[in-house]
Structure 1
Amino acid sequence: MTDNLFDRLADLFRSPGPVNWRLAREIAESSAGNVEPVDPWLDEEYRDLAATAVRYVDAASPLDPVTAAVSPRILDRRGWASAAADGLAYLAEPLAAKFGAEGPAPEMVQMLAPALIGLQVGGMVGALSHRIMGGFDVGLPPARPERPFYLVPNIEEFAGKHDLDRRQVRLWVAMHETTHVAAMAEPWVREHAVKSMSAFVASLEVDEEAMTTRLEMLQDPEAMQRLVEGGPAMPPLLAARGGAEQLEDVRTLMSIAEGYAEFLVDRCVGNLIPQAAALREAVDRRRAEPAPGEQMLAQMMGLELDHARYRLGTTFCQEVARRWGDEAVHRLWESPATLPRSGDLEDPVAWAARALL
């Protein structure tokens, strides 16, 4: 955080509400860094590739890409961070309700909890702004249909770091983002995801020791900086007392969305992305690396995104296509009854016995 932001913290802490969204946005923007304008020609290229991806998904998939066809947001890190915090309200605001009259120093908890949650949400969003390439990359389902977005500096940096053809990477990202947006725009898919996440959040309980530690950190600027940046490993602020099944449902859904996007890349634009194998390997390596934003999510609510499962979603779709054909893969999005369960990712035969017969 900048010194100027620290100087304004006393004022920011006074913002009303169960979550201090004003503080969350300020922290997110400060962590994201300065504005990085996207060159007009690059903006136009992303829009062209996004439109191309919409046409391919519309032609090859039962998903309706009408939401994805809306003009995409071509963003820099700060542009995304300034708007992204509010999208986590469906998770953050129920968390705020956990900080009631029980636990350590209840009056102090109720006074500082909105700022603490805002601080951690803002820090998490700011950290993610340096990593994600689009909505498909966040790892959490959206609470409502969202426009596709492309976080240009991260996409370009990823392509350069791994010596990949930039236009191929942009098209790969556009296919993944379009598929993700179209899938999450399906009312039953989004309802299933949000319901599962809400059930997981409902199972969380405040860890009193972790809460006390964080309250003490709010009184020390250096400690607060560590809190915003993720700092050293800390126990989760809230710990799950159940909810494992619901969390697995969300992880499975996100894995299937990723695997289905890979399936469409192969079927629709495989010939346009000759570096696809190298690109996927680079994505897998990147996801295996610790990500500060994801670590902060784990520290806040014990939620591990488990990106390793994304590869299971890809192999599942490949195996279903090999055994029963492409039409069987498309049936994933038919209804809640055909959506794979957690164990199905490693046992597509079990899924087929339930969904195809």
Structure 2
Amino acid sequence: MTQTPGTTDDAPDPTTDRPDPTTDRPDPLRGSGLVDWRLAATAASRLVPPGPRAARGEVEGLVAELRTAAGRAVQPVAETARMETPPGTPPAMIVDRPGWIRANAASMGAMLGPVLDDVVAKKREADRARAQARGKELPELGATAQRVGSTITGTEVAGMLSWVSTKVLGQYDLAPQGTPRLMFVAPNILHAERELDVDPTDFRLWVAMHEETHRVQFTAVPWLREHVIAQARAVGTQILPEPDQMSQRLLDIVSQLPGVLRGETDITQVVATPEQRAQLAEVTAVMSLLEGHADVVMDEVGPQVIPSVAEIRRRFTERRKGAGNVDKILRRLLGMEAKMRQYRDGAVFVRAVVDRVGVDGFNAVWTSPETLPRPTEITDPQTWVARVHG
């Protein structure tokens, strides 16, 4: 976070926690080596702007208050959601943008490692079959070529990580490679509260409520984290084309990109077949539930804890709609507009179910993977109520 010109200490801010994949996280470079995740993290950290200017005292106050807000959010979320984070769960971590990038590069590498392993295995098998048909041996991929390929993809991932790291306020990192952790991205929260012109203390607590709800979801429901990771990996394995279909799929994607950029279709409609879109819909239904539940809880806590909650929600919703043209294009390409729909659809589902069967009745959703809402039930909550409650 950049300090204002008048300050005397220009050293890097020591008050933010900086996750380091070389220490508390395993090596994120794994699987086939198709992506150089270390390069991606390093390059993205160099590309990303540091965030809004702030005096050292303001930075230290922000970090301290975010830590306090994380603690203050625990009891209201537990009471509202009627779910509790088990004791011994790691405390929230306050990060800058490079810290978020490093953590997510590590997690993405761990999440995609098995998927990329499968891609490489399929390609090698296809190459071996073609070589045998020609009576030749399958050549080994040279180390240099492998490094060049992983460098190119690592650079491309860096651009994505750099941009996304300027948008995220907080996150519950599932960390397939290690210990899950709640994170708050301090410069983005400071930027958002200034842009929205809202009460900083209320806004920081409001953000903490949303992210604490995610932590409750994944810690109070023991099977949920592994279920979401397995679902994501399964969809990733299925959605990547077979080696002999790669060229045609790339042509199809390129031909449909103008429609994505104009907002006429979703990126998932471009990259996936109808069968794969059905699998994606299953994952989307779960993500809609998680995001919608967090939105409902953060708002249900109410003005007795966050006096300006209604004003924050109104301005924040308007902010989600108000992105500029370039920002909207990038959101469409990264599928982030679909995420905005997840908040809306999921919140409607949660409120409708609670209205019908109460909070305890809604919490039956966490019983097992079979009680999670199906894609058609997210937009038709009464069908979930009928299926689960009879």
Q: What TM-score does the superposition give when structure 2 sets the normalisation length?
A: 0.69
Q: In 2, are the aligned partners of 1:96 and 1:113 still within 8 Å (CA)?
A: no
In the other structure, the counterpart of 2:20 is none
8 Å contact 1:259–1:313 — kept in the other structure? yes
Cα distance in 2 between the residues matched to 1:307 and 1:127? 17
Aligned to 2:377: 344
Q: Does 1:191 align with 2:191?
A: no
Distance 1:247 1:142 in 2: 21
Shift of 1:323: 2.1
**In structure 2, the residue corresponding to 1:187 is in which secondary structure?**
coil
2:346 is aligned with 1:330? no
RMSD over aligned Cα atoms: 3.5
- Relative to structure 1, the CA distance from residue 316 to residue 55 in structure 2 (aligned partners, 3 Å threshold; closer, same or farther) is same
Q: CA deviation at 1:321?
A: 1.9
Contact 1:200 1:240 in 2 (8 A): no
Answering whether residue 164 of structure 2 is matched by residue 148 of structure 1, we say: no
Query: Corresponding residue for 1:261?
Result: 294
Pairing 1:201-216 to 2, within 5 Å after superposition = 201-203=236-238, 204-205=240-241, 207-208=246-247
- C-alpha displacement at 1:254, in angstroms? 1.8
**Separation in 2, partners of 1:71, 1:309:** 27
Return the index of the structure with the highest Cα Rg: 2
Counterpart for residue 247 of structure 1: 280
Aligned pair 1:83/2:122, yes or no?
Answer: no
Q: Which runs of 5+ in 2 are unaligned?
A: 1-31, 128-139, 252-260
**SS class of match (1:272):** coil
Q: 3-state SS of the aligned residue for 1:148?
A: strand
Alignment of 1:148-167 (within 5 A): 148-167=182-201
Matched residue type, 1:72: A
Kindly state the Cα deviation for residue 201 of structure 1 after the two structures are TM-superposed: 0.9
- Structure 1 gaps of 5+ residues are 1-15, 213-230
Distance 1:256 1:335 in 2: 14
Counterparts of 1:124 and 1:292, CA distance in 2 = 13
Q: Are 2:40 and 1:24 equivalent residues in the alignment?
A: yes
Distance 1:313 1:50 in 2: 23
**What is the deviation of 1:189?**
1.4
**1:356 alignment counterpart:** 389
- Asked if 2 retains the 8 angstrom alpha-carbon contact of 1:57 and 1:65, the reply is no
Counterpart-to-counterpart distance in 2, 1:257 and 1:208: 36
Distance between the aligned counterparts of 2:249 and 2:380, measured in 1?
39
Native 8 Å contact 1:74 1:150 kept in 2: yes
User: Scaled by the length of structure 1, what TM-score is found?
Assistant: 0.75
Match 1:127 to one of 163, 181, 201: 163
SS at match of 1:150: strand
* Distance (Å, rounded) in 2 between the aligned partners of 1:268 and 1:173: 12
User: Is structure 2 residue 360 aligned with structure 1 residue 321?
Assistant: no
- Give the distance between the partners of 1:96 and 1:27, measured in 2 at CA: 24
SS class of match (1:253): helix
Residue of structure 2 in register with 1:45 after alignment: 65
Deviations 1:69-126 (A, max 9, x none): 52211111122212221111244332465353569xx969755432233222222211
Residue 156 of structure 2 aligns with an amino acid whose one-letter code is Q
Local SS of the residue matching 2:184: strand
Does the Cα contact within 8 Å between 1:18 and 1:97 map onto a contact in 2?
Answer: no
CA contact (8 A) 2:196 2:316 kept: no
Query: What amino acid does structure 1 have at the position aligned with 2:225?
Result: R
Is the Cα–Cα contact under 8 Å of residues 135 and 177 in structure 1 kept in the other structure?
yes
Mark the CA change 1:187 to 1:305 in structure 2 (over 3 Å): closer, same or farther.
Answer: farther
